[in-house]
Structure 1
Amino acid sequence: MSHLDHTAFVNSRRDERNLGHHTLRAYAQDLRTFARFSRAHQLTDPLSKDDILAYHRHLRDELRAKPATIERRLVTLKSYFAWREDRNSALPSPFADVRISVRIPRRLPRPVDRDILRAVLRAGERANAARSTRGAGDSAPASQDGITLLIIKLLIVTGLRISELTNLKVRDVSPDGSQILVNGKGSKERIVFVPNRELRQEFRHHCQMRSRHGSIAAPLFLNTEGRRLRSATFRKRLRALSKRLGIEPHLTPHRFRHSAATLLIEEGIDIRMVQALLGHANLKTTEIYVRVSNHALRRALERVDVLSELRS
């Protein structure tokens, strides 16, 4: 397995499936891990079923990789060998007769508690109010703290992935700020809505400011240097905000996404509508938020303990 093969495979996934940067980077990392194993064990083509089983044991017993990591590494490798066989039938895939079951513990998402969400929003609004008092008018560009708060609100309301939000361009938002055209995983487009009137006005104002200072193809959110705000930068902002407010575990964009889904289901929104909003390909991915809501309900009922109250 040459380095050129790795590069060609990753490039083909990028060109044919238009996969995102993080997915492509994970593919490359998975293939490099197997390449190191191949060199250490002097594997040569054609590889066998036993070679794959040995690699699975290596991941599990020697590297002590997590089950989800093991599954991803094997799925990437299987995809690579299928791609290679399609290009050269003289190199059959060693996965033809391999059956490996990796049990992945099902962990519940960790949404942000409502009280913490309220504290975050209040802190942001206080900062915005202080800025207005210092004389920044409506026509002034938003501060970075203001943009951070706006993104947090959008994450809570829309359930967008942070990469989907930071990749938005000015043209992706409707003139009234109520709809966003999102390019999701696998280049699947979907429309999400901004139902809150106050947030819609704030969002529209930001979009108008951006359109006046750039083309409709310009990034919607910028960093302090005037370039597109990157997901990693926003994550750092959330860590700093968490530290400032004493929030543990620290805030992450994906926790806001979990919050969006959980809040909607708790408010009675149909699960298939939540699935469409989040861009989940499989309903099972969305169903876990029903379990989160049920878990919260059980904790609340245990705290109340109605029967004990009646007996007292």
Structure 2
Amino acid sequence: MSEFDELPDELRRVFGAYLNHLVVERGTASSTLEAYTRDLRRYGSYLVHSGAGTLRGVSSELVGEFLATLRTGERDGAPLAPASAARTIVAVRGLHRFAFVEGIAEHDPASEVTPPALPRRLPKALSLDEVLCLLDRGTVGGPRGLRDRALLELLYSTGARISEVVGLDVDDVDTHERTVLLDGKGGGQRRVPVGRPALEAVEAYLVRARPSLAAGKTQASALFLNVRGGRLSRQSAWSVLKAAASRAGLTSSVSPHTLRHSFATHLLEGGADVRVVQELLGHASVATTQVYTMVTMNTLREVYATTHPRAHD
């Protein structure tokens, strides 16, 4: 039984030809093909109800109206989630493009219809207890352990990107002023404060570990060195972070940006002004930083809901 038996003959043939094209010419995965089949069945039903028995009579307005029904749930039940609606529009755009290229239709009415913007994902932040667990239990002994502890402490203390931290030279750390000089995106530099625990970890690494890692390379300027005495790479630093998270027993995903997200979130939860956090993170626009305020607002809502006497009245 065809997936499109309820459609007029011409629509059924075009829809089937498009799905066959995806399999034979594009090598589309079976799971994606199944999803596209459901999406196109919904689209075909909409076309029939709208009086369009072929693709030739479909206008851009009709495709746009179909998009609106995905958001509202009209005719076909519950509205689709933004990601599902976006996938459906991709399937519809691909269908019309295929029909136009193959000469089945004289124009492509879906070319100007874009998928809906997906909601911005909130950054994942660790709790303070999780950060402390990562720092206290995530590293091992020896020179590499001292280096890794200093690396993790510095990432959380400064909110720096992992590429900025591995790019540090020894002279970029000012232990007297308790600051580090970071090279940010676009060649911009910023000097940010460093907490005492991070400075102590860096000093312990410089005195007790870095000389052995330098392996006699007295001209080496990089702050964080690998076992061969060269600059620690971003990929190696990421491996350090993942290994530390595993040792600390953190079950949530810990990415290179996790400590940066946690830094920003904890500052805002502590009452820091968003523009101060913007400067510390090196964001060109405060709008980029404001995504973190969404995270803290979720926390505020939870606190409000559980503590205010009339939160649920």
* TM-score normalised over the length of structure 1: 0.56
Count of residues paired in the alignment: 203
Distance 1:168 1:307 in 2: 50
Whether contact under 8 Å (2:138, 2:243) holds in the other structure is no
> 1:109 aligned to 2:108?
no
Whether contact under 8 Å (2:278, 2:286) holds in the other structure is yes
Distance 1:175 1:205 in 2: 12
Q: Which has the higher helix share?
A: 1
Pairwise mapping of residues 287-302 of structure 1 onto structure 2 (< 5 A)?
287-302=290-305
TM superposition shift of 1:260: 0.5
Name the structure 1 match of 2:108. none
Instruction: Mark the structure with the bigger radius of gyration.
Output: 2
Q: Match of 1:243, as an amino acid?
A: S
> 1:202 aligned to 2:201?
yes
> 1:244 aligned to 2:247?
yes
Distance 1:258 1:101 in 2: 28
Report sequence identity in percent: 33
Distance 2:219 2:282 in 1: 25
> 1:120 aligned to 2:173?
no
Name the structure 2 match of 1:72. none
TM superposition shift of 1:115: 2.2
Work out which of the residue numbers 225, 232, 235 in structure 1 matches 2:235. Answer: 232
Q: Match of 1:277, as an amino acid?
A: L
Whether contact under 8 Å (2:164, 2:182) holds in the other structure is yes
Moved more, 202-211 or 227-236: 202-211
TM superposition shift of 1:217: 6.0
- Pick 1 or 2: higher relative contact order, CA cutoff 8 A, min separation 6: 1
2:290 match: secondary structure: helix
Gaps of 5+ in 1: 1-56, 65-97, 132-141
Describe the superposition over 1:264-310 as per-residue Cα deviations: whole angstroms up to 9, x where unpaired. Answer: 111111111111110000100111111111112222343x355399x
Identify if the C-alpha distance between structure 1 residues 103 and 201 changes in structure 2 by more than 3 Å, giving closer, same or farther. same
TM superposition shift of 1:173: 1.6
* TM-score normalised over the length of structure 2: 0.56
Distance 1:174 1:214 in 2: 22
Deviating beyond 4 angstroms after TM superposition, the runs of 4 or more aligned structure 1 residues are 98-102, 207-217
Identify if the C-alpha distance between structure 1 residues 225 and 288 changes in structure 2 by more than 3 Å, giving closer, same or farther. same
Q: Match of 1:107, as an amino acid?
A: R
Identify if the C-alpha distance between structure 1 residues 280 and 243 changes in structure 2 by more than 3 Å, giving closer, same or farther. same
Identify if the C-alpha distance between structure 1 residues 177 and 162 changes in structure 2 by more than 3 Å, giving closer, same or farther. farther
Name the structure 2 match of 1:218. 221
Whether contact under 8 Å (2:137, 2:244) holds in the other structure is no
Identify if the C-alpha distance between structure 1 residues 198 and 247 changes in structure 2 by more than 3 Å, giving closer, same or farther. closer
TM superposition shift of 1:104: 4.1
Distance 2:200 2:146 in 1: 14
C-alpha root-mean-square deviation of aligned residues, in Å? Answer: 3.3
Whether contact under 8 Å (1:176, 1:204) holds in the other structure is no
1:143 match: secondary structure: helix
TM superposition shift of 1:242: 2.5
